[in-house]
Amino acid sequence: MPFHPACHSYEPVTIADRLFLDLRRAILEGDLPAGKKISEPELANIYGVSRGSLREAISKLENCNLVTRRPNIGARIVSFSIDQLMEIYQIREAMEGMAARLAAKNMTEPELAHLKSLVARHKDSLAHTERTTKTDYSQDADLDFHFCIIQGSKNQRLLTMLCQDLYDLVRFYRMRLSPAFSSTAMQEHELIVQALERRDGEMAELLMRYHVRASRDRAKQRLESMSPEELGNHH
């Protein structure tokens, strides 16, 4: 039942921190609709905090690219756009490809074992369960898979750039598209793990780039088959 902390898994010691986590969750889960303007006095009243703390939380949300601010105008939740989603996939192809290459070199054996068990569980769940609650779990498992590899790269900056600056956006879109996780994608995951086991960085990067590119194509295909109303819901 976790919200999937990934990064941002620190204790909210200060009011602004707790507010940031609450608002982040609200945005990702759709409580605060995409594209909506944020009213500082209104939100400050709702959460029972001062405007100063709220502004600090909004500033953190801006770092995650979940809101955009303009001076003297205000902040608004990031809005849904197919083009932006495709841009994100292109960046993930490059960065996660590099992460896989580095992980093949730097991942520890326990980390590899953990990744393997994760994929095995995932495969099991995909084979044995009905389609009912599959998507939810699969999506989390997918994020876990990518997170493990990024962490295994042992490049701290790469980790923070992906987790802090990009993955919140990934969740933002994922929550609004609720795509089915295909068995094809899981097979791609397995191939990547095999390359990592062989410590073949070159191949791991190629396979990861292919996987992200294929995921992008699948997402695009799904989006183009969706009705305009379905897409419009999120604006």
Partner DNA sequence: TGAACTAAAATTGTCGACAATTTCACGTCT
Partner DNA sequence: AGACGTGAAATTGTCGACAATTTTAGTTCA
Q: By the criterion CB under 8 A, which residues form the site for its own copies?
A: 13-14, 17, 52, 55-56, 59-60, 62-63, 71-72, 84, 87-88, 90-91, 93-95, 97-98, 102, 155-158, 161, 165-166
* Alpha-helical runs (H) found in the chain: 15-28, 40-47, 51-63, 82-106, 109-128, 134-152, 156-165, 167-177, 183-197, 201-225, 228-232
DSSP characters over 13-54:
-SHHHHHHHHHHHHHHTTSS-TTPEE-HHHHHHHHT--HHHH
Does 36 participate in binding DNA (rule CB under 7 A)? no
Per the CB < 8 A criterion, the answer to whether 123 and 186 are in contact is yes
**Could you give the C-alpha distances from 217 to 70, 144, 163, in angstroms and in order?**
33, 21, 22
Range in contact with DNA (rule: CB under 7 A) among 40-48, 98-106, 114-122, 149-157: 40-48
Considering the complex, what minimum distance in angstroms separates the CB of residue 12 from its own copies? 9
Does 139 participate in binding DNA (rule CB under 7 A)? no
Does 50 participate in binding DNA (rule CB under 7 A)? yes
Instruction: Point out which residues pair with 38 in neighbouring strands.
Output: 75
Does 62 participate in binding DNA (rule CB under 7 A)? no
Burial class (CB in 10 A: 0-12, 13-18, 19+), 133: exposed
Q: What is the largest distance, in Å, between two alpha-carbon atoms of the chain? A: 56
Does 11 participate in binding DNA (rule CB under 7 A)? no
91 binds, among its own copies, DNA, none (CB under 5 to 8 A by kind): its own copies
x/- contact string, 72-111, with DNA (CB under 7 A)?
A: xxxx------------------------------------
Considering the complex, what minimum distance in angstroms separates the CB of residue 160 from its own copies? 8
Tell me whether residue 63 or residue 129 sits nearer to its own copies (CB atom).
Answer: 63
Q: How far apart are CA 216 and CA 232, in angstroms?
A: 20
42 binds, among its own copies, DNA, none (CB under 5 to 8 A by kind): DNA
Considering the complex, what minimum distance in angstroms separates the CB of residue 49 from DNA? 4
Return residues touching DNA (CB under 7 A). Answer: 14-16, 37-42, 49-53, 55-56, 69, 71-75
